[in-house]
Amino acid sequence: MDLTCAICLDTHLELVVLSCGHRVCRDCIQEKHLQDHCPLCHTQAMPEEERPEVQCEEKGESFGQQDGVILCDFCLQEPQPAVKTCMNCEASLCQAHLSKHNTKSPLKEHVLMEPCEAQVLAERRCRQHGRLLECYCATDSVCICMLCCIVSYHKDHKIITLEEAFDKAQGFFTETLEAVKTHEAALDHSIENLLKQEEEVKNEEGLRKDRLESLFKEMCLQLGDRKEEVLKVLSHNEEQQLSWIQTKMQKHKEEKDAASHDVQELEALRDQKDLLLFIKAFSAIQARERKPVSNCVDLKPTPPIILDKLTTDGTLRLFQEFLSDMQSLFKSPPVREYLTTSVDKKGTYAFEENPFPVSPRRLPGVYKVGALTATTPQLKSNESFSEGCHFWEVDTSNMRHWLLGIGCSRFDCYLEATSHNLCLFLDKTLITGKHYPEALKVIRVEVDCGRNRLSFYKVSVKDGNTTASLHLLEAVTIPFSYPVHAIFKIFEGSLKLL
């Protein structure tokens, strides 16, 4: 049994055990005039029968720590700064109490450390057993107490002392430090890149928003101009109709006045008894010209604009289609690196990558296919399309008979050219066929997966420069069945993908 007083650190046979568990000799209680709290843990721990009659004067300062300085737990009236903290006693000691502490044989083996608070002391003790953490479990890489080594789930683990764990850690310390520094540098570099990306995103989104604002502003201006034009036409038409109505009305009023005058003359002529005068006057009135009165409703001019329910519904439907098409244009099409082809091994062909860059909206990758024989099977691209809008252009100037289009497991849709004739097929069904005597050099095939639309254009060059113009040859709605592939077939000559 420990018979050491927690205050004077002397051994006494008569000790008072406080309710908190600490032992204090009666001499310290009486001579030092303890307050009603334990000098170590500062809890209400003094039993009533042992409470001293004389209380210490309040100094306005609490035991423990003042202004960040750890104070001695054994100094009563004027606590001195602690120089060490005893882990076994769970107390901080000034130099004087430390000297007395170290002179006691049972206390010499206690663990001393730099002054610290109660929270730090708690971290150095096992939460399960309350004992000092004196060992290291290498299996779980955690510090444990002696009881953990004996009775807990650590008992079958590899246990070493803290000194051994420290020595091993020192062997890996430099390597670990360099690894952490390298990781820190990589994180710094990544954060720097992310900050740049963040700035780029803000700038790009700002530009996109400005372009969108400008686009919609221009659209609103053009829509407003179109509205003004239509309203102006309607106002002009209204003025014409009103002018026509007013002219007709004025003319009818004049004719009405003449008719009213004739009625008055005929009413007055009713009482004429002289036969000669009656006949002369009546003949004159009867001979006057009276044009038949037409139905003015049928004579109104035709309005320049029809705005019935059918027209407005059709206009709104077209506007919705326009909004849908515009939305699809805003979506970025999938970017593919190459357009490749696969054919039967019997086919003779060669591929040459074009070094020139291509538009991101066209099928990336440009190849030349040459010297294909009439027995060459249909070429189908390995690349397939399921969304977005895509196009590819083919130089057909060295071909007399060719087939271009798309295909999938359910159907083929293609444009076939032969002897100045163009025929559009959906599988074996002829959709359209026409004579086309003009020379075809470059053909653009365009598939819009969003609208299920396949279009073929003749590509021409304006005034010898690189600005191309498009002339629609054929367009057809395709079945909803994706993915689809680009298909080619050459019966005579050679083709080149641009």
Contacts of 170 (CB under 8 A, 6+ apart): none
Of the pLDDT bands very low, low, confident and very high (cuts 50, 70, 90), residue 198 is: very high
Pick the closest to residue 417 from 341, 490, 347 (CA basis): 490
Q: Is the pLDDT of residue 419 over 60?
A: yes
- Lowest average pLDDT, out of 249-263, 355-369, 480-494, goes to 355-369
367 lies in some domain: yes
Provide mean pLDDT across the span 488-498.
79
The reported pTM is 0.40
Backbone CA torsion sign across 414, 416, 422, 426: negative
Give me the CATH number covering residue 352.
2.60.120.920
- Do residues 380 and 485 lie in contact, with contact meaning Cβ atoms separated by under 8 Å? yes
Give me the CATH number covering residue 39.
3.30.40.10
Phi-psi region for residue 120, left (φ > 0), alpha (ψ -120 to 50) or beta?
Answer: alpha
The pLDDT, as a whole number, for residue 358 is: 31
Task: Tell me the C-alpha to C-alpha distance, in Å, between residue 81 and each of 7, 85, 91, 118.
Answer: 16, 11, 12, 15
What phi, psi does 177 have (nearest 5°)? -60, -45
CA distance 161 to 136: 6
What pLDDT digit, counting tens, does each position of 451-490 carry? 889 999 998 866 555 456 788 899 999 998 889 999 988 7
What pLDDT digit, counting tens, does each position of 137-174 carry? 998 889 998 888 888 888 888 999 888 999 998 988 99
Of the pLDDT bands very low, low, confident and very high (cuts 50, 70, 90), residue 14 is: low
* % of the chain with per-residue pLDDT over 70: 76
- Lowest average pLDDT, out of 107-121, 231-245, 353-367, goes to 353-367
Provide mean pLDDT across the span 184-196.
94
215 lies in some domain: no
Of 56, 80, 97, the residue that ends a domain is: 56
464 vs 187: which has the higher pLDDT: 187
Indicate the number of domains in the chain.
2
Structure tokens at 448: 């819009």
Of 56, 74, 89, the residue that ends a domain is: 56
Of 56, 77, 96, the residue that ends a domain is: 56
285 lies in some domain: no
Q: Is the pLDDT of residue 30 over 70?
A: no
458 lies in some domain: yes
461 lies in some domain: yes
Q: 385 lies in which domain range?
A: 341-497
159 lies in some domain: no
247 lies in some domain: no
348 lies in some domain: yes
Q: Which amino acid is at 98?
A: L
